[in-house]
Structure 1
Amino acid sequence: MIRTLLVLEDSNIQFDAPIETIGLEQEKLFWVDFSEPTEKEVRYLSEGF
């Protein structure tokens, strides 16, 4: 399972944003946390980050 937290340029906080949108939003900071990721999630994380 992947969970995300984004702090946007306007200082609003967005929880559980789709990981595919990270970098497309106007975030100042983001956190990606994963627990027991699937093979697909590991592949996506290793390619995207």
Structure 2
Amino acid sequence: MASKAFFCFSSVNKTIMWLIVLEALAALGVLVFLVWWTMFAGRRDLHDDDSSGP
């Protein structure tokens, strides 16, 4: 009977661990997306400034 209770507790721990891993991966994905988005948000085409010359 004790081994059955331990098995259930172990199964719950594995489920919680997977949820924590998935949450960490989601947070990492959001961080990478925000960094990528802000890296290129301020840049415009630089060739337009050069073409106004002689």
Return the TM-score normalized by structure 2: 0.21
Between 1 and 2, higher relative CO (CA 8 Å, sep ≥ 6) is seen in 1
Larger strand percent: 1
Largest Rg, 1 or 2: 2
Larger helix percent: 2
Return the TM-score normalized by structure 1: 0.23
